[in-house]
Each structure stands twice: as C-alpha cells, then as structure tokens.
Amino acid sequence: MYLVTIGLEVHAQVKTNTKMFCACRTSFGDEPNTHTCPVCLGLPGALPVLNRHAIEKTLLTGLMLNCGSPELSKWDRKNYFYPDMPKNYQTTQMEFPLCIGGGVPLYDHCYPTDHRKNIVTPNKIVRLNRIHLEEDVAKSTHLGNSSLIDFNRAGTPLMEIVTEPDIESAEEAFAYVRSLQMILQQGEVADADMEKGQLRCDVNISLRKNASDPLGQKVELKNLNSISAIRRAIHFEIQRQTEELNAGIPQIQSTRRWDDDRGETQMMRTKEDAHDYRYFPCPDLLPVRTAPLLEKVRPLVPELPHQLANRFEKDLGVTAYDAAVLSSDKQLAIYFEAVTDAAIPGKKVANFIINNLLGTLNERSLSIADCPVAPEKLRSLLSLVENGTLAANQAKEVFTILFDSPEKDPAAIADELGFKPAEAGALDSLVDQVIANNPSEVEAIRAGNEKLLNFLTGQVMKTASPKPNPKQVTDLLRARLL
C-alpha cells in the first residue's frame, strides 16, 4: 500500500465580456478567428491594457475562498514557444499573485454518488496555495497530419487556482472540482462549464510508502476536461505507479496525457523545471494596488452553497439532503426561494421541485434557467394542494399541462380536468352508497384493516364528478367507519 498525495491546478475562464489585455469579445462557438486584434495575436508593437473586471472577479473569488491578497500584485512573463501562444510568452503572475492561501470546502453531495457513504474526512477543506490571473491560449484542433488553431480564445482571462497537496483520493479530487465549480458559479465569476472548455484541470500525483517519507516524484496529468475523467485518470495513474514501484521501477517527474478512449495515461515528456520558463516582470504592465479593488468587491460576496444550505434547513425546514440539492445551483436556489410562501411548508415546496420539476427539466434537457413555469405559477399550484383543493397526484397532472402551457392558470387547469372539491352533501351520499355496496370491506376495516380505506376511496373516486381530493374522501370514510 502507498500513500497518495494529489494537488490540482484548475484553470477557470473568468466571466467577462472582453479579453484580458484587449477589447476583443470573449465568445464560444463563433466563427474561428473572428475575435482577434494585434494584441491577442501577438503582433509586434501591440501593447496590453488590463481588464479591470477580470481583476475584480479574481479578487472576489479570493474573498469567497478566504484568501489573502498582497498590497501590490504584479505581472510576469512566462516564456515558452508553442503555436497556440503567438507572442512566445504568456502574461501571467509568478511572485505576487492576486490571491494567496484560502481553501475550498468539500461538500458531501459533491462526492461521486457511489462514494458518499465512504467519505473518509467529512467537512474537509482543501487548502489553496494561490490564485493568479493570466491569459488563456488559443484553441488547437489536431487532425491526422495537421493542426488548426482558433485564436478567438487567445487572451481570455484565466484564473489558475492551485491547491496545496491536500487531496488523498480520486473521489476527493472529484468533490473538490465539483465544489469549486459550484462556488465559482454562485459568485458569478465564472460559468465553469467543462464541456465548453471554461474549466480545465491539471492533476499532480505522487506515491510514497509512509507519511514520514518525502513526497514521491510528481507526475502531472494535463488538461483533463471532465470531472469523471479526472476520477478515472487518477485511479489509473495510482494503479500504474503502484505496479511500477512494486516492480522496483522508480518514478520520474513527468507529464502525461489522459486517453479517455483507451482509459490510460500516456507519456508526453519529462517535466521541465520552473526556471526553464525564465519568468521576469512584464515591462508593459504596472502593478495593481489591491486594497481599493477589494473594498469595491467585498459587498458582492454571495452566500456560498453551504451557507445557503444551512439557512434553508434552519429557516425553511427542509432536510439536509434537500438543502444540499437546492443550494447546488444558484438559479435553482433563487427559484426555490421565489416559490416559498408562509402558507406553504418549505419541505413541500422542496419535495415538488426536486421530485417533479427537476425530473421534468431533465427529461426535456433543460436547465432551471430555461424553466417555462414561473415561480408564482408553481406557488399557486402548491397553494391548491395546501388548501385541500387538489391531491398530490392531481397536482402532478396539473403541473404536466402547466409545463407545456405556462400561460395558463393552475386553478383553471384543475377545473378543466374536473378537479375541485365536491359539495359536502353530494360527497356524503356517494360515501354512504359505497359503504352500503361493500359490506365485507367495511367489516374488515372496522376490524383493523385500515388499508382497505384506499379501496373504498377508489370506488368513490370512480363515480364522483367533479373529482374531489382523495384525501377528502378518505377522511370522510374514516369518520364514518372508525
């Protein structure tokens, strides 16, 4: 057995309208090479201009994650040649990044579903080393014997969020990336959509025999672009290193890539030392004084997912599981709070949203932001359940129609379906008739078999018009027979 030590470097595109050092528009999926200029193409003589919003959002991220910031933050050049970096250097931060220290809490519901009962360290916080701001590179598409480069992405503001080596398993890495993704989205500093390349991850892994031993040689896995791929790649790499170490093959500091189709990591190169990049201060950009910018963004720090969940539990009476689900998406949390009403228990609202609304959205491949049912319409529907007009199953039928015809009123849909309270006299007569027609069931109920009340309720519902609330019928039967 070996002790596993993992550190992550997460690259998150900052949510801005323009690039880091020029006024070109940030975009995804547009015609290649249509959002470029002399600055982001690295043409001679072009000078960069700082994107203030990118700096502010990076500092806001630091506040959300309890980071500190130096009084002055400066810019550096990281020198290397690669076709997707036309200047042959990247403008980044080496010595004085915008954010230092801090940590990311690992939320229990962010672990893989099959691992949540086996969490080793509940409420763990992964320490951060730094968050620095830099420019993204262009997008390369590799073909058989050639490569295509799209410079639309070149120069997009990119936060690099670097952990301390605190992560001890693939499952913790999975939870870390998902938890971080939720926090970035909650603060609206990044969309963090891995499918769009807005969040990418490098994983550093080393193995050692004992906690007292020095860390093993670091192997870096580059540019993992899905959370599930991160988990699979780490599991493979741990197994690969374990087998080689057991066979007496020492590990060397290296960089590997993950081949998702083959399910294996492959050697790219032995790792360059940091000094090979020849960092030096950027002569074109002045340092940034952080204090006034921190004061500007401090009021923008939102409730983080765990703070939202705690409030939902405490103030609205939902379970810990429901609170975790509802706080996992900012738009979902806003929708839930917009539906809640003093007259409707929060637990009932949570149940309907989680069990019905989210299920329907998933079936239609829609996000909560695309939900056609306005919060006030769902609140009206749940009010009909709460006042006894509709049963839970009837509300589901109304909701199905409401989802496709959101302009309709829930009460009107209920009327169209024939769902409304029956007049007491008419319902009493139907109940008496069903009791008279089912003497054996009545005898069994009076003898203690209350499950048969559901059978008699069904008999009443078959003949009743309009359809009453089944609970109303069951209560009448219980009053008559028990």
Could you give the C-alpha distances from 355 to 304, 336, 478, in angstroms and in order? 24, 13, 29
Q: Which structure tokens are listed for 393?
A: 């199953």
pLDDT of residue 274: 47
Please classify residue 375 by burial: count the beta carbons closer than 10 Å to its beta carbon, then call 0-12 exposed, 13-18 middle and 19+ buried: middle
d(CA 92, CA 77): 6
d(CA 341, CA 309): 18
Pairing mode, strands 125-135 and 139-142: unpaired
Can you tell me which residue has the tokens 């949203």? 353
Number of Cβ within a 10 Å radius of residue 209: 11
Please report, as a single letter, which amino acid is at residue 452. L
d(CA 77, CA 283): 9
Can you tell me which residue has the tokens 């374990």? 242
Strand partners, 159: 12, 133
Pairing mode, strands 76-79 and 280-281: antiparallel
User: What secondary structure letter does DSSP report for 150?
Assistant: E
Buried b (16+ CB within 10 A) or exposed e, 138-163: bbeeeeeeeeebbbbbbbbbbbbbbb
CATH 1.10.10 range(s) for the chain read: 424-481
Please classify residue 287 by burial: count the beta carbons closer than 10 Å to its beta carbon, then call 0-12 exposed, 13-18 middle and 19+ buried: middle
Handedness of CA 60, 168, 257, 97 (dihedral sign): positive
pLDDT of residue 421: 63
d(CA 415, CA 422): 12
Nearest 10 degrees: CA dihedral of 312, 318, 319, 325? -60
d(CA 382, CA 343): 10
Helix (H) or strand (E) holding 127: strand 125-135
Per-residue pLDDT of the chain (482 residues; tens, 9 = 90+): 899 999 999 999 999 999 999 999 998 889 999 999 999 999 999 999 999 999 999 999 999 999 999 999 999 999 988 888 888 899 999 999 999 999 999 999 999 999 999 999 999 999 999 999 999 999 999 888 999 999 999 999 999 999 999 999 999 999 999 999 999 999 999 999 998 889 999 999 999 999 999 999 999 999 898 999 999 999 999 999 999 999 999 999 999 999 999 999 999 888 655 457 889 999 999 999 999 999 999 999 999 999 999 999 999 999 999 999 999 999 999 999 999 988 899 999 999 999 999 999 999 999 999 999 999 999 999 999 998 888 888 899 999 999 999 999 999 999 888 786 656 566 777 888 888 889 888 888 888 888 888 888 888 778 777 677 777 788 788 888 87
CATH topology of domain 424-481: Arc Repressor Mutant, subunit A (1.10.10)
d(CA 448, CA 351): 31
Q: Which structure tokens are listed for 69?
A: 């910031």
d(CA 216, CA 5): 9
Q: Report pTM.
A: 0.85
Helix (H) or strand (E) holding 478: helix 470-481
Conformational region of residue 337, where left means phi above 0, alpha means psi within -120 to 50, and beta covers everything else: alpha
